[in-house]
Amino acid sequence: MVQVEEQYRTSVRLSPLQRIRLLVTGTVPTSRRSRPGWRGSLQFYAFRCPVHGLMENYPQGYGRVLRCPHCDEKAAKNGAQI
Ligand SMILES: [Zn+2]
Distance 51 CA to ligand 1 centre (A): 5
Distance 63 CA to ligand 1 centre (A): 18
Inter-residue contact 30 to 42 (CB < 8 Å): no
Give the chain's mean pLDDT: 84
Task: Pick the more confident residue, 68 or 61.
Answer: 68
Reported pTM: 0.74
Angle at 73 between CA 24 and CA 61, to 5 degrees: 60
**Where do the structural domains in the chain lie, given as residue ranges?**
2-78
CA dihedral 70, 74, 80, 82 (to 10 degrees): -10
Confidence of residue 3 (pLDDT cuts 50, 70, 90): low
Which protein residues have a CB closer than 5 Å to ligand 1 (ion)? Answer: 49, 51-52, 68, 70-71
The pLDDT > 90 percentage for the chain reads: 55
CA-to-CA dists, residue 16 to 28, 43, 56, 59, 73, angstroms: 12, 19, 17, 23, 30
Distance 41 CA to ligand 1 centre (A): 24
